[in-house]
Amino acid sequence: MGKGRRRGEFHGRGSSAGVVIRRAEERDAARLTRLVRSSGAYEGRYAAMVSGYRVGPDYIEAHRVFVAVETDSSNAESAGAEFRTGRVLGFYSLIADPAELDLMFVADEAQGRGIGRRLVEHMRGEARRIGVESVRVVSHPPAEGFYRSMGARPSGTVPANPPAVMWDRPEFTFPVGEPGEVIPWQGGSGPVSVGA
């Protein structure tokens, strides 16, 4: 790790973009809850699923939750505590046993900036760190294409569970792989290189 980095921080390619991935803290709970509830991916028929959703301090403490934060400096490594209070661009939650990507959201205004890709790369690294070989994902139907493009492999369909979830959801498995390993994919946008 470079000078000034803490375990669990990720200064992805193009750090000049000012994005850091760090472990979520209890004080992030309200911001993560707002991100979930305001997600454009859950508008219309999907809105009921997140309308009362809460990412509480207890959830953050119990799971591996990481946030992508925009810093105010192009030099994130020397920014000190600045990245702790920057704008949250996205987050994910990894449950260790059994391994599952429980939540992953990218703020609507941050879509298309590579935040989702950075979060998936980080999640794979975290899964490797804790000894997991693959990670299950039950996808929100509109996110299916994203997960496929990231190398997730279809593994089934999770049936609707009314009244909480009124629609079937695609299920995927993310192979974790080794850093730098190219994981071949027979669909989507081609092979995916697993980041360090």
The 3-state secondary structure of the chain, one letter per residue:
CCCCCCCCCECCCCHHHCEEEEECCHHHHHHHHHHHHCCHHHCHHHHHHHCCCCCCHHHHHHCEEEEEEECCCCCHHHCHHHHHCCEEEEEEEEECCCCEEEEEEECHHHCCCCHHHHHHHHHHHHHHHCCCCEEEEECCHHHHHHHHHCCCEEEEEECCECCCECCCEEEEEEECCCCCCEECCCCCCCCEECCC
Whole-number pLDDT of residue 180:
56
Do residues 125 and 179 lie in contact, with contact meaning Cβ atoms separated by under 8 Å? yes
CA distances from 28 to 77, 82, 113, 180 (A): 21, 14, 22, 31
Residue 45 CB neighbours (<10 A): 10
Whole-number pLDDT of residue 73:
58
Whole-number pLDDT of residue 164:
81
Name beta bridge partners: 182.
193
Whole-number pLDDT of residue 182:
53
Whole-number pLDDT of residue 71:
87
For the chain, list the domains and their CATH numbers. Answer: 15-191 (3.40.630.30)
Mean pLDDT in each 10-residue stretch from start to end of the chain (196 residues)? Answer: 38 57 97 97 90 96 97 55 73 97 98 96 96 96 96 97 91 84 46 40
Distance CA 118, CA 54 (A): 24
Give the residue from 64, 57, 59 showing the smallest Cα distance to 125: 64
